Chain A
């Protein structure tokens, strides 16, 4: 590390400590111990009460019930990001002609990836499907699921994933199924005579005796599928080797 870096970091840390200590001891910031009225409303109404989402997890009930439209448009932003990545890396001709066999790592790494990927799928499904009971939800579970194709691409190769049917097009189709299901779930209460993204009287709060919190478990499931498949499509696009791009597009030779 250079000397200038050390001096700059020292000044930086001293500034942070001075400001935080000054605010604490000189500025006399009052300690807030009670919850504000809006937060109190959510805490009281998320499981019990008249405006209940029937979910013990307050964050998920805010995300997909009380402030559901915000999360819906966040999903739209994610959708647009994936679409822009696809437009940047567009290959019109077939890519299969330059197929080559990937070597990958040694068998130790491959066996460990086989064990670990099953485990990651189980954990991410638990995060997503228990999203209305414990911390977590669709986006968290989906981003944990997206680690699995990444591990397989690194340890085996991209062609191992595509040879088993998980190509870019398959991932895009699965992601579109997830998004369309979310939109249908949004529109179902309108057909039943309610308003957009209405939760409880339309959807049942218990299915087969299990607490499902109305539509929250369905939203989490479809968001999980959409996010996982979207990240998988981006990884499959990014892991195309550069020489394949040069060969197909026919640009400048290096």
Chain B
């Protein structure tokens, strides 16, 4: 039974790393915010499997709701494309 949990944990963590890589490399900042929210979803699954519901409840509200909305507000005040 614990084997299934470990497999789900591995898949969700790898997908989270993929999302965070895409969020860093994306030049359109609005898309990068969406990738970051995807990473939040994957990490919250990992937190659930690691049996940390206290962390999960704070993380799922902040990483998907509040953090995304704050960054969208900030992007709407500045420029959308990343300037290096």
State the A residues within 8 Å of B (CB): 5, 8-9, 12-13, 16-17, 20, 59-60, 127, 135-137, 139-140, 143-144, 146-147, 150, 154, 231, 234-235, 238-239, 242
Contacts and interface: CB of A to CB of B under 8 A. Distances in A.
Interface residues on B, range: 20 to 34
A147 B21 contact: no
Contacts, number: 61
A127 B57 contact: yes
B73 A5 contact: no
By secondary structure, the A interface counts as helix
B50 interface: no
B18 A13 contact: yes
Given A12-B21, A13-B17, A150-B66, A143 B58 contact: yes
Interface of B: 10, 14, 17-18, 21-22, 25, 53-54, 56-58, 61-62, 65-66, 69-70, 73-74, 76-77
B40 to A, nearest CB: 13
A76 B17 CA distance: 32
By secondary structure, the B interface counts as helix
Contacts of B70: 234-235, 238
Contacts of B54: 59-60, 135-137, 140
A18 to B, nearest CB: 13
A189 B51 CA distance: 34
B61 A147 contact: yes
Given A12-B21, A16-B17, A238 B74 contact: yes
A72 B35 CA distance: 33
Given A135-B53, A137-B54, A146-B66, A239 B18 contact: no
Given A127-B57, A143-B58, A13 B65 contact: no
